Amino acid sequence: MNEQPIRVLQVIGIMNRGGAETMVLNLYRNIDRSRVQFDFVENETEQPAVFDQEILSLGGRIYHCPKFVGKNIIRYKKWWDDFFREHSGEYKVVHGHIGSTAAIYLKAAKKHGMYTIAHSHGKNGVKSFRTSAYQLISYRTRFIADFFFGCSAIAGEDRFGKKVVGSDRYRIFNNAVDVERFKYDPDLRTAVREKLGVREEEYVIGHVGRFDSAKNQIYLIEIFNEINKKRKDVRLILVGDGSAREKVQLRAEELGLTDRIMFLGIRSDVPDLLQAMDIMVFPSKNEGLPVTLVEAQASGLACVISDGVPADSIIAKDLVTVCSLKDSPEIWADHVISKLGEERRDHSCDVAEAGFDIKQTAKWIEEFYIEKSK
């Protein structure tokens, strides 16, 4: 009789197309599922998520816990205690990607004898009441989890503190990608641009990310406005969705740019869309280590990024230009324009050699889970 795979519980927001969610799904696709299986607890309502059907097809199970809103803390704690009691013996490892309540659900997991991992995917950034409350609730995680991952040193320090990051219980966990899917392909580039209606002589600036204030797409519109004043052969493609999308679209309308910008929403063909672009612009106020930036470099795409993006994100130095968020949109525009027309080549091997190949990462985490399950 074949030995059953160990089951690892992944605690995450909702499995839509986001950086952390995409990275976890990429791991799931590439691990040996005869040895390790993933199940998911999504911290949102029971609405279907983009990746749910694929998770189920790969053999995973999906559960939904109440969304934590502060005042329901007693109900939230009880849900987790009941869940681990009902699933006693099913899980040896719990991998937590939701930082705000990790101290609650990882404590419950430990109570029921499980090995616990806390994973920081980003930096909280600009301080506010919300982030202060978040840090207050999540602070105890550093004293509860057995092991810690972070997409960068700064992401780890922001969430867990320098003492944890300097210990042997912390590891930088690269936001790896399937580099084979992002190899530069001139023929594919031509085909995708034709589908999008982009003329051969036009240049395409691209951005992929959730629409919110931290990603700073509203500033990107200001940058593109300056570019449009100087060059009429440039288009802007924005991929993603989120709470700030309407505000960004409104600003584009106010500046008369709607005919030069494509809002493509959430897409499943991001690797193809990157082929169609000439440059990626990433003016984030703060980041952990954006998966999209790794993907862009793997495809050989020139990138102009903010100083709010960690230096750990820069893999192919010849592709990346760093600009200050204190610089004017016009200065950013000049940097972008200076990189238009640069010869593009495949950088997928550079990304793999730097430790960002999902196949290598999946093999490592697979062995890690098995070791911690003994």
pLDDT tens-digit profile, the chain (374 residues)? 458 999 999 999 889 877 889 899 999 999 999 999 999 999 876 678 889 999 999 999 999 999 898 889 999 999 999 999 999 999 999 999 999 899 999 999 999 999 999 999 876 544 433 455 556 777 899 999 999 999 988 889 989 999 999 999 999 999 899 999 999 999 999 999 999 999 999 999 999 999 999 999 999 999 999 999 999 999 999 999 999 999 999 999 999 999 999 999 989 899 999 999 999 999 999 887 888 999 999 999 999 999 999 888 999 999 999 999 999 999 999 999 999 988 998 899 999 999 999 999 999 999 999 999 98
Give 186-245 pLDDT, tens digit per residue: 999 999 999 999 999 999 999 999 999 999 999 999 999 999 999 999 999 999 999 999
Helix (H, G, I), strand (E, B) or coil at 202: coil
Listed residue (65, 75, 23, 15) closest to 45, CA to CA = 65
How many beta carbons lie within 10 A of that of residue 185, not counting itself? 15
| C-alpha distances in Å from residue 345, one per residue of 123, 200, 290, 300, 338 | 31, 18, 21, 5, 18
Place of tokens 């993006």: 309
Say which amino acid occupies 366. E
- In this structure, are residues 263 and 273 in contact, taking their beta carbons and an 8 Å threshold? no
Place of tokens 């802007």: 236
Say which amino acid occupies 302. A
How many beta carbons lie within 10 A of that of residue 349, not counting itself? 12
Task: Please tell me the predicted confidence (pLDDT) of residue 127.
Answer: 42
CA angle 211, 193, 196 (to 5 degrees): 60
Listed residue (365, 244, 344, 359) closest to 297, CA to CA = 344
Q: Element (H or E) spanning 219, and its range?
A: helix 217-230
Helix (H, G, I), strand (E, B) or coil at 17: coil
| C-alpha distances in Å from residue 295, one per residue of 31, 158, 207, 236, 313 | 20, 24, 12, 18, 11
In this chain, the answer to whether the domains covering 6-176+357-372 and 179-353 adopt an identical fold is yes
Task: Please tell me the predicted confidence (pLDDT) of residue 125.
Answer: 46
How many beta carbons lie within 10 A of that of residue 256, not counting itself? 10
Buried b (16+ CB within 10 A) or exposed e, 314-348: bbbeebbbbbeeebebeebbebbbebbeeebeebb
- How far is residue 374's CA from residue 370's CA, in Å, rounded to a whole number? 7
Task: Please tell me the predicted confidence (pLDDT) of residue 128.
Answer: 37
Helix (H, G, I), strand (E, B) or coil at 216: coil
Task: Please tell me the predicted confidence (pLDDT) of residue 123.
Answer: 65
Could you tell me the residue ranges of all domains in the chain? Answer: 6-176+357-372, 179-353
Task: Please tell me the predicted confidence (pLDDT) of residue 20.
Answer: 87
Q: CATH fold of 179-353, please?
A: Rossmann fold (3.40.50)
Q: Element (H or E) spanning 190, and its range?
A: helix 186-196
pTM of the model: 0.85
Place of tokens 């519109």: 221
Max CA separation in the chain (angstroms): 69
Strand partners, 37: 7
CATH 3.40.50.2000 fits 6-176+357-372, yes or no: yes
Helix (H, G, I), strand (E, B) or coil at 144: helix
Indicate the DSSP class of residue 229.
H
Helix (H, G, I), strand (E, B) or coil at 9: strand
How many beta carbons lie within 10 A of that of residue 160, not counting itself? 26
| Alpha-carbon torsion, ordered 209, 68, 39, 210, to 10 deg | 0
